[in-house]
Chain A
Amino acid sequence: MRPATPPCATDDYDLAIIGAGVVGCAVARRFALAGAKVVVIEKGSDILSGASKANSAILHTGFDAPPDSLELELVKAGRAEYLADRESLGLSLVETGALVCAWTPEEAGRLEAIAAQGHANGVEGLTLMTASQARATVPGLSGRLVAALEVRDEHIIDPWTAPLAYLTQAVALGARLLRQAELLAGRYEGGWHLTTSAGDIRARAAVNAAGLYGDEVDRRLGFAPDFEIRPRKGQFVVLDKAAFGHVPRILLPVPTEITKGVVVCPTAFGNVLIGPTAEEQDDRVRATVEREALEALLARGAQIVPALAAIPVTAVYAGLRPATEKKHYRVTTRPEQRAITLGGIRSTGLSAALGLAQHALRLHDAFGLPARPRVDPPPVTLPNLTETGARDWQQPGHGEIVCHCELVTRREIEAAFDSTVPPGDFGGLRRRTRAGMGRCQGFYCNARLAEMSRGRLAVPLAVEDRDEA
């Protein structure tokens, strides 16, 4: 791991953000653009160490969000900003649209109400379809389909490059990222005195964006949290790129009270994923995959699109949703202590992050701190990893292809290590480059990656590095 610059106790920040998930990254950008001096405190060895590293990568419209909720408002605002700033941040968008698939007459009967709710939520492009109309857009759908609701604007994105782009822009504006820095305690005395495992920090205001530890971080800041995190695990199976042609759109189930249900979904990288499960657990760290659940997902996927049965598995993963005892977002503002908690961002945080950041800035404005001059957003250029844009391996001079399955070049890997926010662990390297994420899962390139990443990762791939450290 390259040594983090030690935080300097005399350094005064306008804002300290606890947690570099997608929400913390978006907040950092919004405040940096507002001219604030920002520090992001992340306990993991890289950003996206919590809920944000594993999700379905859907940029939601909000068609099924609770009506009149803060969540609906912020999903819509976040999505609008995502689409508006795509150019300058180099953000991806794969315009797949979605079908809510009804497999029984009972489910089909509920589509109309879902459409009506979607209209009421201000979402356009909702069309009820017969089974044959739906199958005309996704020919591989099982013949058992009864009816469907098209959600034209429900799309997919690269879920890792987006938050990285937010934070990269923030850092370009002077924001500071501290990794392997766990917030241990904080006290407010006209300003925040924060104790972290990497040193002390002072800041005028604080935002708790600690995801799965939102309640715990509130406690460490001296607050009685008004919510309790109840992690809800979601497991996924990622199928080989050969599946992509069979699933051109997001295939959603008719949702239940508990979960959005198992989705069959193309990814921006040309794969197809099946998931997530929804499993309550106490553990906030372990997001295990389990054979039975994965087999059940594979079986479910093949019921929805029969051709998927013959397609090999590329990857499996699991993520934990920062759910709480209630369904909605748990946003709390404490103007007397200049603190904002963005808690319980359960299952739409990727879509709502930029909206949550706007909301946090509005809440912060009420703290009565002197406003700083706004700054112009510097353009951010991160490599395109999606299959819809040009990739580096297609451009001359890339040196060589290191990861053959995902066609990742030496130039891309070196660029990631030299970037504004370089990877701190192997997961971070994978998320920034896709190296090792393909069908062979590193059979061909893992040793090479071990060599190229020597001395740069918190947990090195090769053991001898551990002794050197």
Chain B
Amino acid sequence: MNDADVIVIGGGPAGIAAAVELRRAGVPRVMLLDREPQLGGATRHCSHSPFGMREFGRVYLGAAYGRRLTAEATRAGVDVRTGHSVVRLDEGGRLDIATPEGLGTLTARRILVATGARERPRAARLISGDRPVGVVTTGTLQSYVAFHGLMPFTRPLIVGSELVSLSALLTCLGHGARPVAMAEPFPQALAGAPFSWFPALARVPFHRGTELVDIRGTGRVEAATLRHGDGRLETLACDGVLLTGRFTPESALFLASPVGLDPGSAGPAVDQDGRTLDPVCFAAGNLLRAVETGGWSFREGQAVGRALARDLAADPCATAPIPVGFEEPIKLVVPSLLRPTGQKAALADFQLRVTRAVRGRLSLELDGREVWATVRQFLPERRILVPIPPAAFAAGSVRFRLRENV
């Protein structure tokens, strides 16, 4: 006897939405595991960000959104278990957990993994310099503030120009820190428009095409050196470095499992229903492609939950998946697998990202024949959506091409 029909790992927006949807679709036993003491995932520390407008028709700030999600899960009859760390994901619907009471193994007919994403730390970015205290990511900064009323610095240098970088700037300004500058290695701001006015309004110099090349400090950060686009070096006195964005999926469970990772997304490869290479294991939310908004993750969780409820009616899907091909400068395609099931797909669109700013022609080929194309400018970290054509499920080969400057 299984411990549940479905075990959902991760109680952020995606996992909760999926669990609630599964219950609504009549699945009797849905268990939701999260390693933290509360549900909510990454929204818990986003104390100033509005969430929930589309899901709940009103705005919640950070932790309040998490509480609303928790209430939804409880009301829907989800068996919520916090303080439960999943430490190993086996094939075939088994997983190992660690709790303060000890170790255990759980089994279910299906598993849904929604463990979210995190920002890349300093080490993985190979940033040069000393390794002092005070180099943190936005998620860490916001956890200092939201959970403990602490600050890791007062005069940080902020690196990055994604949406989360603005969130980082707001958190600093709202808690008495004066960023000394913001620096983005790309020639333009990744989040676009707001960067043309927001940092200026806050009187924080914003440098594009500028790289952080050295961090100095024996105990705490004392200075950081930037290399500007023209090669000029500038050393700024600061007491911290705030690394924002450059999200990567929290895919540790897959990294260590036979399912492995998709080299593009760094999350598990999934098909149009969120099914991984192991047909009893599904995935949704930021785990799939690193960062999207909370609302997007919620809706994705809902859609995958719905598909999963349908999937439970039959044996696990035995159809061999067709891989979706692509190459540089395309960074990732989600879903990167297609399995013809004859059912409505949970993910209606292919979601693509590029590795760098490119102008060119993006096309989709089925069995070598172009069925869709667009010509435009593509920027890194921006979502590109391409509807999945029904014919793709009948094709022997599915491939994206991005030709530059045509």
Contact = CB atoms under 8 A, between A and B. Distances in A.
Interface string A363-404: 000000000000000000000000000000111111111001
A313 B124 contact: yes
A447 B252 contact: no
A399 B151 CA distance: 26
Contacts of B360: none
A291 B127 contact: yes
B130 A286 contact: yes
Nearest to A399: B100
Nearest to A295: B126
Contacts of A346: none
A267 to B, nearest CB: 15
Interface in B264-301: 266
A317 to B, nearest CB: 7
B56 interface: no
Contacts of A240: 255
B354 interface: no
Given A310-B263, A446-B143, A463 B151 contact: yes
Contacts of B119: 443
Residues of A contacting B: mostly: loop
Interface residues of A, number: 53
Contacts of B129: 288-289
B123 A396 contact: no
Interface stretch (A8-16, A350-358, A434-442): A434-442
A299 interface: no
Contact of B143 (A314, A398, A448, A458): A448
A440 B124 CA distance: 9
B123 A401 contact: no
Nearest to B142: A447
Q: How large is the interface on B (under 10, 10 to 19, 20 to 34, 35 or more residues)?
A: 35 or more
A450 interface: yes
B124 A314 contact: yes
Contact of B154 (A241, A401, A463): A463
B113 to A, nearest CB: 15
Given A242-B256, A459-B219, A447 B126 contact: no
Interface string A284-298: 011111110011000
Contacts of A399: 100
Given A398-B100, A441-B123, A291 B128 contact: yes
Given A290-B128, A464-B150, A447 B123 contact: no
B136 interface: yes
Given A459-B219, A459-B220, A462-B152, A288 B147 contact: no
A313 B102 contact: no
Contact of B126 (A291, A395, A398, A460): A291
Contacts of A426: 133
B98 A289 contact: no
B252 A405 contact: yes
B188 interface: no
A464 B149 CA distance: 10
A316 interface: yes
A443 B83 contact: no
A305 to B, nearest CB: 17
A463 B133 CA distance: 10
B40 to A, nearest CB: 14
B148 A450 contact: yes
Interface in B65-105: 83, 85, 87, 98, 100-103
Contacts of A315: 123
A252 interface: no
B118 interface: yes
B35 interface: yes
A407 to B, nearest CB: 7
A202 B348 CA distance: 78
Contact of B123 (A287, A316, A398, A425): A316
B380 interface: no
Contacts of B102: 394-396
B79 to A, nearest CB: 20
A383 to B, nearest CB: 16
Interface in B33-77: 35, 37
Tell me which of A285, A439, A443 has the highest count of chain B C-beta atoms within 10 A of its own C-beta: A443
Contacts of B124: 312-314, 439, 441
B37 A400 contact: yes
B121 interface: yes
Contacts of B151: 462-464
Contact of A442 (B35, B128, B140, B213): B140
Contacts of B140: 442-443, 446-447
Given A394-B103, A459-B219, A461-B152, A313 B126 contact: yes
Contacts of B103: 394
B218 interface: yes
B372 interface: no
A400 B143 CA distance: 18
Tell me which of B37, B139, B140 has the highest count of chain A C-beta atoms within 10 A of its own C-beta: B140
A451 B150 contact: yes
Contacts of A398: 100
Contacts of B144: 446-447, 450, 462
A397 B103 CA distance: 11
Nearest to A287: B130
A168 B35 CA distance: 34
Contacts of B266: 312
B137 A396 contact: no
A443 B150 contact: no
Contacts of A295: 126
B178 interface: no
Contacts of B263: 310
Contacts of A289: 126-129, 131
21 contacts: A241-B256, A242-B255, A285-B218, A288-B130, A291-B127, A312-B248, A313-B123, A313-B126, A314-B124, A393-B85, A394-B103, A396-B101, A396-B102, A443-B137, A443-B139, A447-B143, A448-B143, A458-B219, A461-B152, A462-B148, A463-B239
Given A238-B123, A407-B98, A447-B147, 10 more contacts: A241-B255, A242-B255, A287-B130, A394-B98, A397-B100, A401-B35, A444-B118, A446-B136, A447-B150, A450-B150
Interface of B: 35, 37, 83, 85, 87, 98, 100-103, 118-119, 121-124, 126-133, 136-137, 139-140, 143-144, 147-148, 150-154, 213-214, 218-220, 239, 248, 250, 252, 255-256, 263, 266
The 6 A-B residue pairs with the shortest CB-CB distance, nearest first, are A441-B121, A447-B143, A459-B219, A462-B150, A396-B102, A443-B118
